[in-house]
Structure formats: C-alpha cells, structure tokens
Amino acid sequence: MPAADPLRDLGVRLTPDGGELRVWSANASSIELCIFDEKDADWVAERVPLTKGKGDVWSASTPSLQLGTAYALRVDGPDGPTHDFDPDRYLLDPYARGLARTRDGGWRSYVQDTAFDWGGVEKPGIRLDHTVIYEAHAKGLTKLNPELPEELRGTYAGLAHPATIAYLKELGVTAVELLPVHQFVSEQRLTKMGLVNYWGYNTLNFFTPHAAYATREAQFGGTGAVLREFKGMVKLLHEAGIEVILDVVYNHTAEEGRGGPTSSFRGIDNASYYRQTAEGDYIDTTGCGNTLDFGRAVTQRLVLDSLRYWAEEVQVDGFRFDLAATLGRGEGAEFDPAHPLLRAIIDDPLLQGVKLIAEPWDVGMGGWQVGNFPVGWSEWNDGYRDRMRNFWLRDIAQARESGSASEGIGSLARRLAGSNHVFALERGPLASVNFVTAHDGFTAADLVSYDRKHNLGNGENNRDGSNDNKSWGHGAEGPTQDEEIRATRRKAVRNLLGTLLLSAGVPMLTAGDEFGRSQRGNNNAYCHDSELTWLSWDRREWQEDLFEVVKTLIRLRRENPALRPVRYGRWGESTPSASQMDWYNKDGETMGIDDWDSPEERTLQYLAASTPEFEDFNRILLVVHGLETDVTVTLPAHEGVERYTLLWDSGHDDISGIEGVHRPGEELAMAPTSMLLFRAD
C-alpha cells in the first residue's frame, strides 16, 4: 500500500474527544498551541506543545479544540538570515477555517462551524462556450442599490437579494466573478495614508471569507455565521442559474516584505514558505513584497487544499488566479507550463468541472506567459484587450490627426476569431478570456473620455497606474458639454463592448460598463472604498439605452452558436463546434493579402458558421468599419445564404427600431466607426 501523505489534514480536525491540530514547519524547534478563554481572546487558557512527526508535520490533540474555540500558534526556531522566529508572537494557523479579531486589532484562528443545508441545490454546470463573466466587487455591486434594505447593501446577502439576481438575469450574464473575498487586510502604507485596500489583493488567510462583506448580523452572529451567509449567497445564485467564480490571490500574502506584519507563514517557517536569497532578501515576482515558493510541496498542497475547500465545501464554480505565472515557478523561480501545481489543479478529481482562469503574468523574469498555460486552463488575453482598444480608439485618433491608421484589419480579425495565433490548436478559442476593461484600469466610459490617467487621489502624485491605456477622449479630456463628442464616445463604447460580446472566446464584462460607469479618470482605484468605485443605480437615459444594447448583445451571443465556437477550424475540414469563417472586404470579395496587411483597409466582413454538435446550425455575418468616414459595403454572396437579417447596428443609441432584410450583393451605406450584425439564412 502507498505510504500515507504526511501533508494530509493540516489544520484542525474535530474528533469525538475534542480536536487535533496539524501544522507544517521544516525549521521550527518548537510549536505551541495557545487556546484562548472563550470570553477573552487575549487571555490564554491553555498551552499545548506540538510534537514533530513525519514529513515535518507537528501535531497535538486536546479536548479544548471545539467549535468556536479561539486559538493561535507560538513558534520558535533558530536564528539566521532566512528565519524570522519569535516565540512571543501569536500566529494564525494557515489552515484556519475561521478568524476572529481581538480588541487590539490582532487576529485569532477559531474552529469553524461549517454546517449548512444546501437543500438539494447543485452547481449550474454552465458550459464554457455559453459563459459570460461579470467581474464585480462583492461590496461595490450593491452598496448604493436603493432596492435593497439598507442593512443588506454591500454584503454577500445583498448580492443574493432578489433585486440583484433579477438585474443579473435581465442582463444575461452567466457567472459573477468576485474580486478577492478571502479574508484580507490593508497594507500598512495605505493605513498610514488614511486609505484602504478596496480590491482585496492582500490575503490574510486562504480558507475564510472576508468578514466585512457580511451583514452586521452575521459578523456578530457567532461561529460560522459569515460562512453561512456566503454559502447562502452561492446557493441563491445557483438557484437562479448563475455561477460564482472567485478571484484568488495565492501568489503572495498580507505579510508584505521583510519587516512587515508577521501574522502566519513568516513566523512559522519563513525560509520555506517565501522565495528568498541565502542572505534573506525576498525574491519578489509579485510586486507586493513577498512571493510564496511554489517550488515546494507544502505550498502546492496549500493551494490545492484551499481550492478543494471552496469548490466542495462552499460550492463555488471556478477561480481566477491572480498573477498566475507565479504559481508556475519552480525551484529556480522560472515559469514552467508543466509545473506540478498547474498540472495538479487540472488533474485533481475534486476540481473536475471547475472553471480555471489564469492571469498569465507576474512581474518576475519571463513573467508574461500568455498562451503558455496547459490544456484545461483559460487565460486573460491582454493582447485582445490592447488590439480592441487600439482599433476603436488610438488608431482612429491617429487617422484623425494624420489621415491614416497605423494598422489595418488583419490583427483585429485574428482576435475576433479567438486568437488562434496565441493559443495552441488543442486548447481552442475558449482558452481566451476576452476583455476590454477589468477592475484594474479605466472603465469603458473612461477609456473613451480621457487621454491620460487622473490618479492624484491615490496619494502617489499620479505615479501609480498604467501610462499605456490606449485610451482617447475624442477631442476633450473628461466630461464635456459638446454633444457631438458625447455621441461619438457613446458609439465607441458600443463598438468596444460589441466586439467583446461577438468575438470567439469567453467574454468578461466589467461591472458597470453596461451602463457607462466612470471613475473620473482614475485607472487604479484600488484604494477607494467610496462612491468613486461603488456602482451607481441612479442612471440617465443614455445609460439605460446602453444597458439595453449590452443586454441585447448578450442575448444575441446566446442565440447564435456561430459566435461561440468551441474549437479552432482546420483548413478544409468541417469539425463539429469548430470556427468556420469566411472573410470578405467591403466590396464583398474574398479578402486578399493586400486587404489583410494594408493600414488603409479598415473595413471587414466575416461570415461565421456553426457546425452542429450540441446546437442547431447557425450562420452570422459581422461587418466592422473602423474609420471616421462613410463607406458603402456590398454584402457578400455565399453558398447557401439567401438573405441577411439585421440584428444589431452599433451606430444607434436606441436599438428598438433596428430591423431589415437584405440580399447578397446588395449595397449598404455604413456609418463611420460602426458595426453591423446579421443572421445569415
């Protein structure tokens, strides 16, 4: 029989006689379990020494470990440049399922009550090709919603409120991707400046939901109340057919750089958990002060155990991995697509069917790894983002200034078709998570309204945030009363979101873009927990019009499988669920080499067909025109196509009057910088 895994069952496991605690440390000389008085989390009621066993796992059992017990670790060990032992510090159990605050702002682990009645509700199991992701902040999404009771605004319960679910259902998204909801804290630097870490990329513990997003009733509701509220949110979203994806931050922790707040890993075994030189300097590939060392089995197991917990115990449907290139760095800190952790996540039997999305870069050497993750992973496609922004914004700005754009239609077409020049054939277009905006950067409305960032409110003299936004204010910086500019900006947003929702791949929509939310030009609003970042539900007519456009685009994507290929097509082959696309220029003729490469050629027609496997046969024609001039387009003649029925025209604010049936060979006058979508029958 194979030997038992010494890394199994780390953390607390309850037994009939109390509980057992198991902690890993290769370099500690002693570990002590401190159990606190049930009425005073600052008073140690019992001290229990742990014994070191196989695989550097320390353990102890005591009847005092029960549901609701608050506890901490005290760890001692040798001196040395890579160590940071202090037997007087109280440390968190890395596997703690619950956390509690003390009067002085410290933290204690506590034994969590995980009981919950799921009532037979199961995961929706939405196929990846049907997935439309809605990236949102758990607090910011509902904080200002007047349809919610005040006590539920900005909470997990508020996200699961019928009004919120009705909004998401009406919009048509299939998954909510929540910015980090693992328990996190603000960095010391921000606290001193009077700011906070609003986004949450500063994890304190990988097994507990962030308590501040729960209702006050849950926060003061005793053992497990916050977790039950979180599970209740998942349950109600699942009942509505909406999946829950978590943005998870395993690449670094809230302990920051050397000299930062030591709360757990650094005090338990700094030399093992964090990448560092022999002199004790951290090797930081995250830009956050520290980097967990995924060349070690214990950190790999930590991530797997956390993922299993959230996927099984909490029933979440997927994960988006922040700075995922860090998770694929081995002993030499170099990225390896076959890294044991990346493979183990895919192969884990408890994670089958879970959606896995990589942010495929970090700030270390060789940190940009787009297209290099294994089969089974999807990736944020920043090349898609940049090309769409350039095509609809910077190229048009350049053409206005100089008379011609820098690039033509070819590079846009590759992105529309699923970026097959980036992702391996066996991975297919669903490896690409397409986006034009995300939490990090300009909103869609700000992309078309500002030439430059406006981040003075972040306290860093406008140095933070990207300077390369590929944005364009269309002749004004920020708000303007010029109605012509405002109308052009609205159309630019429709074009950006139209390409996003009509491209092959998995679209991700940033919450608020569907109604033109602005952050007043701040492209790095991570430190603002205020109305700057919360979604406003007080909207003007043009915002309601934009919402209707986005809702329609999502519906059209759902109804037309030709927009959602599962596989890349092979030349000359008809593969089920593969992309089959024919490309035409503005004259309705098959695209030639000159059409692809010329920067003057900014008009494209592509006819995409689905091949039946899961759904009925379907064909669409998408026409894209990327210059501020009128153009006459001849609809292409294509075998089997008798008519083109207009489904959407980006040139209109109001979509209610869009209609029309046209014939192959018919000429159409197309407005400047616009898109048309037809069903081809």
Joined together, the tokens standing for residue 309 give 């917990």
Would you place residue 223 in the very low, low, confident or very high pLDDT band (cuts 50, 70, 90)? Answer: confident
Joined together, the tokens standing for residue 546 give 């934009």
Q: Name residue, tokens 């320390």.
A: 58
User: Distance (Å, rounded) from C-alpha 596 to C-alpha 604?
Assistant: 9
What is the per-residue pLDDT for 659? 75
Q: pLDDT > 90: what percent of the chain? A: 89
Q: Is 106 exposed, middle or buried (0-12, 13-18, 19+ CB in 10 A)?
A: middle
What string of H, E and C letters represents the secondary structure of 541-567?
HHHHHHHHHHHHHHHHHHHCHHHCCCE
Phi, psi torsion values for 625, nearest 5 degrees: -130, 115
Phi, psi torsion values for 380, nearest 5 degrees: -60, 125
Closest C-alpha among 192, 463, 190 to residue 200: 190
Q: Name residue, tokens 């670790």.
A: 73
The lowest-confidence range among 75-84, 353-362, 417-426, 589-598 is 589-598
From 359, 379, 514, 545, active-site residue: 359
Closest C-alpha among 595, 592, 618, 588 to residue 678: 618
User: Distance (Å, rounded) from C-alpha 524 to C-alpha 491?
Assistant: 25
Mean pLDDT of 69-75: 97
CA atoms within 13 A on the CB side of 439: 26
What is the per-residue pLDDT for 1? 39
Q: What tens digit of pLDDT does each residue of 413-443 get?
A: 999 999 999 999 899 999 999 999 999 999 9
Q: pLDDT > 70: what percent of the chain? A: 98
Joined together, the tokens standing for residue 326 give 């860090």
Per-residue exposure over 18-50, b if at least 16 CB sit within 10 Å of its own CB, e if not? ebbbbbbbbbbebbbbbbbeeeebeebeeebeb
Mean pLDDT of 75-101: 97
From 256, 322, 379, 395, active-site residue: 322
Mean pLDDT of 613-640: 93
Q: Name residue, tokens 């959602």.
A: 564
CB neighbours of 250 closer than 8 A, spacing ≥ 6? 203, 206, 292, 302, 303, 306, 321, 322, 327
Helices (H), 209-264: 216-219, 225-239
Is pLDDT above 60 for 574?
Answer: no
Longest CA span, the chain: 85
Question: In the chain, what is the straight-line distance between the N-terminal and C-terminal CA atoms, in Å?
Answer: 62
Q: Name residue, tokens 């290099």.
A: 372
Examine the residue annotation and report whether 654 is marked as an active-site residue of this protein. no
Q: What share of the chain is helix, strand, coil (3-state, %, to 5)?
A: 25, 20, 50
Phi, psi torsion values for 247, nearest 5 degrees: -80, 110
Examine the residue annotation and report whether 322 is marked as an active-site residue of this protein. yes
Helical (H) or strand (E) element with 307 = helix 297-308
Is pLDDT above 90 for 471?
Answer: yes
User: Distance (Å, rounded) from C-alpha 600 to C-alpha 100?
Assistant: 62
> What is the secondary structure of 486-504 as a DSSP string?
HHHHHHHHHHHHHHHHHSS
Q: In angstroms, how far is CA 31 from the centroid of its own chain?
A: 37
Would you place residue 575 in the very low, low, confident or very high pLDDT band (cuts 50, 70, 90)? Answer: low
Q: What tens digit of pLDDT does each residue of 156-209 get?
A: 999 999 999 999 999 999 999 999 999 999 999 999 999 999 999 999 999 999
Is pLDDT above 90 for 597?
Answer: no
Is pLDDT above 80 for 298?
Answer: yes
Q: What tens digit of pLDDT does each residue of 502-524 get?
A: 999 999 999 999 999 999 999 99
What is the per-residue pLDDT for 487? 97
What is the per-residue pLDDT for 307? 98
CB neighbours of 29 closer than 8 A, spacing ≥ 6? 76, 77, 78, 85
Is pLDDT above 60 for 650?
Answer: yes
What is the per-residue pLDDT for 577? 66
Is pLDDT above 90 for 614?
Answer: no
Joined together, the tokens standing for residue 216 give 């006050």
Helical (H) or strand (E) element with 605 = strand 603-610
The lowest-confidence range among 2-11, 190-199, 322-331 is 2-11
Helices (H) and strands (E) in the chain, counts: 15, 25
Residue type (1 letter), 285: T
> What is the secondary structure of 136-200 as a DSSP string?
E-TTTTTTT-TTS-GGGTTSHHHHTSHHHHHHHHHHT--EEEES--B-B---HHHHHTT---SS-
Phi, psi torsion values for 329, nearest 5 degrees: -95, 125
What is the per-residue pLDDT for 404? 86
In the predicted model, what is the mean pLDDT of the chain? 95
